[in-house]
Amino acid sequence: MAKKVTIDSSKCIGCGACAGICASVFAISPTTGLAEVVAEPTEADEAAVEEAATSCPGAAIEVE
C-alpha cells in the first residue's frame, strides 16, 4: 500500500532537497517558499520519498 507523507512546515527551511529528489510528490510553494506535498506518493515513488525524508535537513518529512 502506498504511504502517506506529510510535511511539518514549522521544521521546513525551504532548501528544496525533497523536490529535487522526488518532484512528483514535493514542490516548493511559490507563496510560502516552503515544501508542500503536491500528490500522494504512488508505490513507485516510495523509495524516493524515503530518501527525501532521510535527506531533509529539518527532519520535516514524515512518512507513515
Residue 57 is a binding residue for ligand SF4 (CB under 6 A) = yes
Does residue 5 bind ligand SF4 (CB under 6 A)?
A: no
Which of 22, 43, 61, 63 touches ligand SF4 (CB under 6 A)?
A: 61
Instruction: Check residue 25 for interaction with ligand SF4 (CB under 6 A).
Output: no
At which residue does the C-alpha cell 512546515 appear? 9
- What distance in Å separates the CA atoms of residue 64 and residue 31, rounded to the nearest whole number? 27
Residue with cell 507513515: 64
Residue 51's H or E segment, with its range, is helix 46-55
Query: Which positions lie near ligand SF4, rule CB under 6 A?
Result: 7, 12-18, 26, 35, 56-58, 60-61
